[in-house]
Chain A
Amino acid sequence: MNGPGVLRFSHGDVLEGNFLGQWTDGVKVSGVLRPHHTPPSLHRCVKKYWQQTDNKWRSAFDHCRQQLGMTKIKDPSQHKVWECLGSALQAEREAVQYFQRPCDGLDGLEIPPIAHSDNCLNWENYCTIKNYLHKAFACPLHPLGRLVGCLEDAFTDSYQEEVSHKLLLNAAVEELKSFNQRLYQIVLALFPILPEEGDLVDLQVNHTNTNTQTQSISGYSLVQRWLLTPQIYSLVHHFYLINNQERDQQYQSRLYNWNQHADLPLMSFLEVNTNFWASDISSISDRGSFYEGGKSAFKEAIQALQQIPTHFAPTKKLHSAVTCWSLVRELFSQKIKKGSAGADEMFPAFLFVVVRANISHLGAEINLIEDLLDPLLSNGSLGYMLVSLKACYEQILTEKREPARRNINMLI
């Protein structure tokens, strides 16, 4: 053989170049070898010990289902489930009294918060259910609280911080998703009124004639907030931190440079509509506060955005972003009388807020939200916020220009 060609190896490496000679005598090659990097698969490494994600910690779930009478009969009625719950709680109470330990938070948990006959979900009974679940998950004697406690132990034992490795991230996320689904099935048996898995329900939040706000409710994200306990969250978060280390470092150094600049030069660099801060300039004579004008106007929005890392549940994180966006929009309608708050105006202002909010591991936060957010919500307003945050992050990382130098001198 004689001429250019490509030799592909079964393990993925590719040799591209000029080949000369016979297979039997050996082939002379001048070319480039491109090794193929397949990320080692965890599944392949521990195939022998691999457990299907949906089977993991099954006994913990089974115990809870048994307490609620869900194992003996297939699809027991809601009435039956609550009856079993009542007797399970009674047994717990007696046991606790026997050992003379306090049984805090158990009171009233055996009583269904809404009538079984209620078959239309609205904002009021949704909130009632949420309150009940909040108490139930917080109480270690309630089957749900006990189950989450069990899962927390299992999860922290499996993925301790000392052994956390990028490879384990997928497995951990899959496991968490599976927990979430299985947990919701149990909650659904207690409250069949809640949306089926895979369904979104829009509930009207307030009933004024002019302004109807709706919130999309998914069962998956309803349960998620209690599954992401501080221990579980900190482990998962740690995974994302190590996974995004490099990009987050680049992002941080970018932000460090940008945040050296005063508000005005930074805003003009980001092409924020001048009207956002124009009125501040005329009223402020002092030079120092002149440059801080923008920051004070955006202060609330910045604070709202800084709430993102303090929440555990992806929906709550995104709600902080929604609050931030609507604060910027309010500012827009105050300062800029005409025009509409479209993305042309809003995005640069939001980008400014993201820069100033200086969230240290925004990349990790975004990836975490992306992986754990219920996919059903990704087309709605929360999805829009996630994409906007992502767009800001990418913009900060890829921006080729730098804010003008002379403005720093002006400040000094």
Chain B
Amino acid sequence: MSGPGGVGGGRSYNFKIVLLGEGCVGKTSLVLRYVEDKFNDRHITTLQASFLTKRVNLSGKRVNLAIWDTAGQERFHALGPIYYRESHGAILVYDITDEDSFQKIELWVPEKQRRFRRKLSQFLIGQKTELECLHQDEMFILKLTGFLFVLANSFIHCPPGSLNQVHRTAAVTELGGGGAALAALARDGSHSSRQTRV
């Protein structure tokens, strides 16, 4: 789903990404840190920390990421679908010191796969065709897909030393439908958006 916008011409693309995972695994600190680390001009919204927006430039195309945080407590699990409706990606977060939180992620995954994964991959394909029609700029599409993937994936790949600082949190990603091909794309396509080493 793309939303045009911006003053003075030039389209921008809007993406909604939802954070899912048990309570207190550090979803928020992870993303806050991630956003702070990676981007200098951190954008402040009134809903700060629960709702973060980030603008990035990919091949001169403006991409707006809206990162939606959700409450992870077990009693609020049923509310997940309300949040990830019409979203473009999700980041599943668990605490590597807490096996239970990893087990619980299984609870999110099947549900997400059922309701959402198909739609997500559809988005990537659909978006790709749409963008191709609009720009015929394949590199941009690759970078965009890659970026979304890296955004989630770099949490897994962050070096051990940085683990303390990201609250010993690791993330499993379902963004971009997974797969080594996408990861490779991401590596080639958007090294500018890789996670900075701590």
B84-126 Cβ-contact flags toward A at 8 Å (1 or 0): 0110000000000000000000000000000000000000000
- Contact size class for B? 35 or more
Given contact pairs A201-B7, A340-B28, A341-B48, A384 touches B73 in the complex (Cβ within 8 A): no
Those of B1-17 within 8 Å (CB) of chain A: 3-8, 14, 16
Please state if A399 and B46 are interface contacts (CB–CB under 8 Å): no
Which residues in B have their C-beta under 8 angstroms from that of A343?
A: 19, 27-28, 50, 69-72
Please state if A213 and B44 are interface contacts (CB–CB under 8 Å): yes
**Interchain CA distance A216-B12 in the complex, whole Å:** 13
Which residues in A have their C-beta under 8 angstroms from that of B70?
A: 343, 347
Which residues in A have their C-beta under 8 angstroms from that of B19?
A: 343
Which residues in A have their C-beta under 8 angstroms from that of B7?
A: 120-121, 201-202
Whether, in the assembled complex, B75 has its beta carbon less than 8 Å from a beta carbon of chain A, the answer is yes
Whether, in the assembled complex, B45 has its beta carbon less than 8 Å from a beta carbon of chain A, the answer is yes
Shortest beta-carbon distance from A381 to chain B in Å: 5
A310-349 Cβ-contact flags toward B at 8 Å (1 or 0): 0000000000001001100100000000011111101110
Those of A375-394 within 8 Å (CB) of chain B: 376, 378-381, 384-385, 387, 390-391, 394
Whether, in the assembled complex, A211 has its beta carbon less than 8 Å from a beta carbon of chain B, the answer is yes
Whether, in the assembled complex, B177 has its beta carbon less than 8 Å from a beta carbon of chain A, the answer is no
Select from chain B the residue with minimum beta-carbon distance to A391.
B79
Whether, in the assembled complex, A268 has its beta carbon less than 8 Å from a beta carbon of chain B, the answer is no
Please state if A120 and B8 are interface contacts (CB–CB under 8 Å): yes
Q: Which of A326, A339, A343, A381 has the most CB of B within 10 A?
A: A343
Whether, in the assembled complex, B32 has its beta carbon less than 8 Å from a beta carbon of chain A, the answer is yes
Select from chain A the residue with minimum beta-carbon distance to B71.
A347
Select from chain A the residue with minimum beta-carbon distance to B29.
A340
Whether, in the assembled complex, A245 has its beta carbon less than 8 Å from a beta carbon of chain B, the answer is no
Whether, in the assembled complex, A212 has its beta carbon less than 8 Å from a beta carbon of chain B, the answer is yes
Which B residues lie at the A interface, using CB under 8 A?
3-8, 14, 16, 19, 23-24, 27-29, 32, 43-51, 53, 66, 68-73, 75-76, 78-79, 82-83, 85-86
Which A residues lie at the B interface, using CB under 8 A?
120-121, 195, 198-202, 211-214, 216, 271, 322, 325-326, 329, 339-344, 346-348, 376, 378-381, 384-385, 387, 390-391, 394-395, 398-399, 401
Sample of 19 further A-B pairs with CB below 8 A, known A212-B44, A341-B48, A380-B53: A120-B7, A201-B7, A216-B5, A322-B47, A326-B46, A326-B47, A340-B28, A342-B29, A343-B27, A344-B23, A344-B71, A346-B71, A347-B76, A376-B5, A381-B46, A384-B50, A384-B51, A384-B66, A387-B83
